């Protein structure tokens, strides 16, 4: 089955290309902020809603104005795409997946998307509009020979690294089916405990670099605003953040890929992390562990490779229910890691017992349907939001 898939690579632009990207990022950021202000003012002042087609029709007139003539110096496609991105941001807001869109800043991550008419792909070389030379891409993994990119997104992160994401339709073959089923209990002491008894430790990437990051941030705060020294200090802070994020992402991808390859069905809890981080004592540790990203990776990889991901109700008492006899404790505090069932006398490891309960309930949901418990969700291949979006 063909699905849209993105291939991300790092590239190293020349000095001339860096100048072009700097202008493009600035124009994209300006158009996005201009459109956001237009939409907000139109709604609150005139009770009128502006959509992509309305703002797209106003963009040529904006370029013709003398004070904004510099917008014509860059490719027009990324500017139009920024309006589409704003439209998508508002859809996410109204559907409850994101906060109200905010204005883009020069100091944050920058990006620009080029559709098929704004770049040339020939013999493995990619040349963007307004550029005479192809990009110097580091092909860390081979790009399939039979695919044609539909769009490319250029990104510059806060550590001044350039990345390109190539979107194309690719044939993704399902993995051979097997009978393995797995329950996974996500935690803080251990990142995940599996129903097989395997315990994957929590790497705590942020915690390991926290002192180094705090020192770099203090040095940055002492520098004079607008000085070159302050900019260099900011870059050191950004590189530390990038190091933490890269290591966490690499760990999550390797673990999620292994679990998807080894198991036909994976059962997890449907956690609401944005509510959990409100706990003042645990918020830093919860943010560091990366549960949401891990479950998201399991979800789209299950779609790709013909696996099933089952999310059970987050209120299911997996930790304090005895897996052997079903006895439910009245309370079980977080500091209790082992307990003995008063009904059948079986001694439980808290996390392994929870993983076994998650597996049992998940298989019931998979067999009987979503109505077995409120909030249970079953993800079949091709049913995730990412897959539905790609098929449109």
- Give tens-digit pLDDT for 76-107: 999 999 999 999 999 999 998 889 999 999 98
Residue 213 confidence (pLDDT):
96
Does the annotation mark 169 as catalytic? no
Q: What is the pLDDT of residues 343-368, one digit of tens each?
A: 888 898 889 999 999 999 998 888 77
Annotated active-site residue in 87, 269, 299, 303: 269
Q: pLDDT band for 391, please (50, 70, 90 cuts).
A: very low
Annotated active-site residue in 145, 173, 185, 370: 185
pLDDT(147) > 90: no
Instruction: List own/partner pairs for 257-262 with CB under 8 A and 24 or more apart.
Output: 257/301, 259/182, 259/184, 259/298, 260/175, 260/298, 260/301, 260/302, 260/305, 260/307, 261/175, 261/305, 262/178, 262/180, 262/182
On average, the pLDDT of the chain sits at: 90
Contact between 163 and 9 under an 8 Å Cβ cutoff? The reply is yes
Domain ranges of the chain: 2-171, 181-201+263-391
Does the annotation mark 351 as catalytic? yes
Q: What is the pLDDT of residues 50-59, one digit of tens each?
A: 999 999 999 9
Residue 195 makes CB contacts below 8 A (sequence gap 6+) with 182, 183, 184, 352, 355, 356, 358, 359
Annotated active-site residue in 87, 288, 299, 351: 351
Q: What is the pLDDT of residues 263-293, one digit of tens each?
A: 999 999 988 888 888 888 889 999 999 999 9
Read off the pTM: 0.86
Output phi, psi for 7, to 5 deg: -115, 120
């Amino acid at each position: 089955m063909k699905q849209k898939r993105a291939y991300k690579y790092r590239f190293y632009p020349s000095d001339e290309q860096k100048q072009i990207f700097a202008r493009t990022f600035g124009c994209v950021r300006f158009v996005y902020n201009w459109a956001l202000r237009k939409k907000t003012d139109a709604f609150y002042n005139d009770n009128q809603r502006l959509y992509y087609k309305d703002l797209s029709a106003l963009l040529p007139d904006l370029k013709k104005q003398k004070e904004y003539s510099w917008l014509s110096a860059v490719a027009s496609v990324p500017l139009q795409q920024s309006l589409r991105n704003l439209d998508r941001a508002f859809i996410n807001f109204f559907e409850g997946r994101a906060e109200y869109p905010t204005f883009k800043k020069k100091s944050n991550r920058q990006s620009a998307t080029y559709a098929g008419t704004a770049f040339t792909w020939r013999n493995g070389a990619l040349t963007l509009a307004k550029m005479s030379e192809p990009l110097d891409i580091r092909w860390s993994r081979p790009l399939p020979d039979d695919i044609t990119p539909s769009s490319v997104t250029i990104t510059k992160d806060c550590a001044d690294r350039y990345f390109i994401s190539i979107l194309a339709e690719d044939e993704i073959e399902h993995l051979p089916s097997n009978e393995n089923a797995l329950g996974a209990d996500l935690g803080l002491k251990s990142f995940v405990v599996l129903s097989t008894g395997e315990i994957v430790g929590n790497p705590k990437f942020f915690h390991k670099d926290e002192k180094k990051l705090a020192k770099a941030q203090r040095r940055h705060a002492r520098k004079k605003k607008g000085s070159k020294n302050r900019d260099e200090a900011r870059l050191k802070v950004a590189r530390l953040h990038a190091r933490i994020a890269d290591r966490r992402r690499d760990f999550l991808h390797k673990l999620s890929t292994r679990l998807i390859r080894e198991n036909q069905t994976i059962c997890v809890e449907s956690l609401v992390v944005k509510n959990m981080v409100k706990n003042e004592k645990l918020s830093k540790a919860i943010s560091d562990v990366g549960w949401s990203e891990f479950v998201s990776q399991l979800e789209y990889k299950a779609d790709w490779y013909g696996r099933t991901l089952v999310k059970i109700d987050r209120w299911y008492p997996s930790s304090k229910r005895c897996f052997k006899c079903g006895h439910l404790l009245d309370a079980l505090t977080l500091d209790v890691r082992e307990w003995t069932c008063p009904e059948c006398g079986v001694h439980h490891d808290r996390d392994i017992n929870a993983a076994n309960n998650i597996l049992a309930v998940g298989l019931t949901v998979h067999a009987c349907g979503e109505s077995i418990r409120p909030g249970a969700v079953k993800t079949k291949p091709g049913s995730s939001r990412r897959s539905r979006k790609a098929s449109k």
